[in-house]
């Protein structure tokens, strides 16, 4: 009886209508790689953290957000490459719960922003290192979040990008502030080149394993 239950647990989970959602073991999703996320760093003019009871001082140039919330945000970041997808968390800061209209006047909390992107997603086309030039110098002067990896889909010789909804085709020259319908994923990592190679390798390997090379 125990062997029968064990066999059922480790049996593959197959989704015929969308093979990329299939799993090697039915009761779990296997993580194949863990990418080191980038760490938020303040600029050189930032001299200290704002007091815990007065986080609003963080909007002054020489103050950073309180140390407790910065540590929580950095600790909440992760990038997992799973057997069939990419999962990452780009956490944000928000006002904590409190007694003033449901909000705290001075405390901050972490708001998770988790994204799961399956390897057969129509937007999972181009994976590239999109780190800004002179990133080390700019991070020292103005702060930063590490190196950047960009995932998007371009076509028509790179002149168009994939959009969402009815605007599936958006000119690449259109500024993002004027056309927020661009579909892209931004990851902040410690080493962009290594991350790009690892993500590409995992995506191509998954497509080959599931006989989806043409997707």
Taking 60 as the threshold, does the pLDDT of residue 111 lie above it? yes
Taking 70 as the threshold, does the pLDDT of residue 7 lie above it? no
Query: Could you tell me if 80 and 87 are in contact, meaning their C-beta atoms sit under 8 angstroms apart?
Result: yes
pLDDT band, residue 2 (cuts 50/70/90): very low
**Which is higher by pLDDT, 54 or 202?**
202
- Max CA-CA distance within the chain? 66
pLDDT band, residue 147 (cuts 50/70/90): very high
Question: Taking the model in full, what pTM does it have?
Answer: 0.83
Residue 97 neighbours by CB under 8 Å, 6+ apart: 103, 104, 109
**Over residues 114-123, mean pLDDT:** 90
Which 3 state secondary structure label does DSSP give 57?
helix
What distance in Å separates the CA atoms of residue 189 and residue 197, rounded to the nearest whole number? Answer: 13
pLDDT band, residue 81 (cuts 50/70/90): very high
Which helix (H) or strand (E) covers residue 108, if one does? strand 103-111
**Over residues 129-144, mean pLDDT:** 92
């Amino acid at each position: 009886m125990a062997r029968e239950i064990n066999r059922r647990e480790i049996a593959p989970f197959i989704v015929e209508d969308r093979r990329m959602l299939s799993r090697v073991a039915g009761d779990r999703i296997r993580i194949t790689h863990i990418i080191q996320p980038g760490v938020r760093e303040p600029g050189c003019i930032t001299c200290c953290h704002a007091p815990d009871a007065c986080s609003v001082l963080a909007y002054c140039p020489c103050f950073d957000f309180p140390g407790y919330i910065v540590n929580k945000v950095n600790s909440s970041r992760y990038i997992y490459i799973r057997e069939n997808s990419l999962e990452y968390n780009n956490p944000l800061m928000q006002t904590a719960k409190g007694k003033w209209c449901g909000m705290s006047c001075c405390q901050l909390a972490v708001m998770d922003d988790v994204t799961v992107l399956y390897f057969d997603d129509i937007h999972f086309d181009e994976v590239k290192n999109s780190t800004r030039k002179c990133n080390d110098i700019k991070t020292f002067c103005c702060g930063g979040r590490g190196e950047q990896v960009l995932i998007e889909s371009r076509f028509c010789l790179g002149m168009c990008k994939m959009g969402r909804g009815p605007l599936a085709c958006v000119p690449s020259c259109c500024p993002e502030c004027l056309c927020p319908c661009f579909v892209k994923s931004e990851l902040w990592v410690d080493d962009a080149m290594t991350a790009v190679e690892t993500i590409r390798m995992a995506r191509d390997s998954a497509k080959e394993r599931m006989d989806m090379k043409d997707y």
